[in-house]
Amino acid sequence: MTTALNRVVALVPMRHHSERVPGKNYRPLAGKPLYRHILDTLLAVPEISEVVIDTDSPVILEGLARDYPQVRAIERPVHLRDGGIPMNEILMHDTSLVPADLYLQTHSTNPLLRAETLSRAIQTLRGVYPAYDSLFGVTRLQVRLWDQLTRPINHNPAILLRTQDLPPVYMENSCVYLFTRQTLEQRRNRLGERPYMFEISQEEAWDIDEESTFQMVEFLLLGRQAKNQQG
């Protein structure tokens, strides 16, 4: 007998400090702090039962208490605050506190993600479970790839195919992970034995990890907002 995966909890880890983009998670982006973009997206996903933020940031905790009373905040324990702690250990802690049939993990650094994309991801895993026991977001690449020893990875240099004719490869984009507590406990990993690759367009899959990507994503968000205002 399989679970219906009815109760879906969204987990978003947010650290206070960021090495490459200082104050990234609460820095203003296109009119509001970065972390608010993903919260507003998650709250618009009808399949999600509860949104949970794990953070060590007093700035974010204060903002959640003031502006998002419907969002549950978990103050990250001191022993899990070091930047070298694996994300799976943080998820083990959070899932022990918040029961769910299915967990959706994403990041504040993916502000271009759309609510309908996350809905589609949940519906997709529900439709293929348990043949697939987890799901993760990927971005399709059709470019000529080489390894560090100058060996072609996905093409034959002697046959110059157009890039659009190359067999696609897929990059894990960290935009969305769907998994059960059982998978996390058994494998100490978000990915199960049979993960489903869920394709997300490059337009939505931008991840802010450098100052340049922060600026690029802000440009794209402002453009999206202007387009929405025009109708």
Number of domains into which the chain is organized: 1
In a domain, 148, yes or no: no
146 in a structural domain:
no
Who contacts 130 (Cβ-Cβ below 8 Å, separation ≥6)? Answer: 2
* Helical pair 58-67 and 34-43, crossing angle rounded to 10 deg: 40
CB atoms within 10 A of CB 53: 27
Domain membership of residue 109 (yes or no) is: yes
Claim: this prediction has a pTM higher than 0.85:
yes
Encoded tokens for 191: 């990915």
C-alpha 126/C-alpha 109 separation (Å) is 26
Whole-number Cα distances in Å, 163 to 4, 79, 154, 225: 41, 47, 11, 32
Does residue 165 lie within any of the structural domains? no
Distance, CA of 102 to CA of 184 (rounded, Å): 11
Sign of the alpha-carbon torsion through 146, 150, 151, 152:
positive
How high is the pLDDT of residue 67?
A: 97
How much of the chain is helix, strand and coil, in % rounded to 5? 35, 20, 45
Q: What CATH number does residue 95 fall under?
A: 3.90.550.10
Residue 159 lies in a domain: no
**pLDDT mean values, one per 10 residues, the chain (231 residues):** 80 93 95 97 98 98 98 97 93 98 98 98 98 98 96 94 93 97 95 98 95 96 91 71
15 within a domain of the structure (yes/no): yes
Domain presence at residue 149: no
Alpha-carbon gap, residue 91 to 185, rounded angstroms: 10
In a domain, 111, yes or no: yes
Cβ burial, residue 108 (10 Å; 0-12/13-18/19+): buried
Long-range contacts formed by 80-84: CB under 8 A, 24+ apart: 81/15, 81/56, 83/15, 83/17, 83/19
- Among 126, 217, 123, 138, smallest CA distance to 177 is for 138
Could you tell me the sign of the dihedral formed by the alpha carbons of 192, 85, 20, 148, in that order? negative
What is the span of the domain harbouring residue 94? 8-138+170-229
